[in-house]
Structure 1
Amino acid sequence: MIVAGARQPILIAKPVDFRCGHQALALMVQTELKLDPHSGVTVIFRSKRGDRLKILVWDGTGMVLTYKVLEHGSFAWPKVQDGVMRLSRAQAEALFEGLDWRRTVARRVAAPTAAG
């Protein structure tokens, strides 16, 4: 999955028209989310049926648009407040794989006290 740097993906709550290409989606990021689509931010868009997604990201040389359709079922879409929701990289990758991203939990690991 293409995810630029350490930026957090943003999920748009409302479904978008999947006939939109990269320019129209970048314009939505700019006008509706008030974000710079060329900043490296990764934006995940969903279809009305919830079985398709588009990922838009600027990789430093051009706009990358990834499109995925699940053959069976639909993606586990989160409930979103204020129009967008931030996902961790692990959650976004689980979503992209068709897994339930809500089951992805980060674990804190204590640093070892000595090299072994």
Structure 2
Amino acid sequence: MFTLGSTLKFHLYSQPTDMRKSFDGLSGLVQNQLEQSPLSGDVYIFINKNRNKIKLLHWTGSSFVLYYKRLETGTFEHPKYDIETGSYNLSYSQIVMLIDGISIKNIEKKKHFQALYNS
């Protein structure tokens, strides 16, 4: 059932979202605000104003799946907006950390190899 993975594209909606919205309401935001097709197979992420609820909308090819998580304490971190690209540049692993409530602000990917040649 959980069909999300690193091969998918993830889009974070930048405005606070009313979590009463379900499949149709969130699909409308994707189509009207993001100007994208909710049937693309991409995953669309929505966070509420208090940042304690998150929804992910995904079209699987035959149906919509809506993932919903509510934090009892704490908040979801809102990722840094990249002005140059006009979007949030998040990898799949950063999406997973965001959903798990792990801070991604100071994440540094370590190099786990030694260069054999100088460039």
Question: Do the structures match in fold with TM over 0.5?
Answer: yes
d(CA) in 1 for partners of 2:7 and 2:104? 18
Residue type of the partner of 1:66? Y
Q: Find out whether 1:88 has 2:85 as its counterpart.
A: no
User: How many residue pairs get matched?
Assistant: 113
How far is 1:80 from its partner?
A: 2.6
**Equivalent in the alignment of 1:36:** 37
How far is 1:102 from its partner?
A: 2.9
d(CA) in 2 for partners of 1:104 and 1:39? 30
Question: What TM-score does the superposition give when structure 1 sets the normalisation length?
Answer: 0.82
Q: SS of 1:86's equivalent?
A: coil
Q: Structure 1 residues 93 and 5, CA, compared in 2 at 3 Å: closer, same or farther?
A: closer
Point out where structure 1 has 5 or more consecutive residues left out of the alignment.
none
Point out where structure 2 has 5 or more consecutive residues left out of the alignment.
none
Q: Structure 1 residues 5 and 81, CA, compared in 2 at 3 Å: closer, same or farther?
A: closer
Contact 1:12 1:84 in 2 (8 A): no
d(CA) in 2 for partners of 1:59 and 1:106? 31
Contact 1:58 1:64 in 2 (8 A): yes
Residue type of the partner of 1:90? S
Contact 2:5 2:92 in 1 (8 A): no
Q: SS of 2:50's equivalent?
A: coil
Q: SS of 2:88's equivalent?
A: strand
Q: How large is the Cα RMSD of the aligned pairs?
A: 2.5
**Equivalent in the alignment of 2:79:** 78
Question: What TM-score does the superposition give when structure 2 sets the normalisation length?
Answer: 0.80
Residue type of the partner of 1:32? Q
Residue type of the partner of 1:88? S
d(CA) in 1 for partners of 2:71 and 2:104? 15
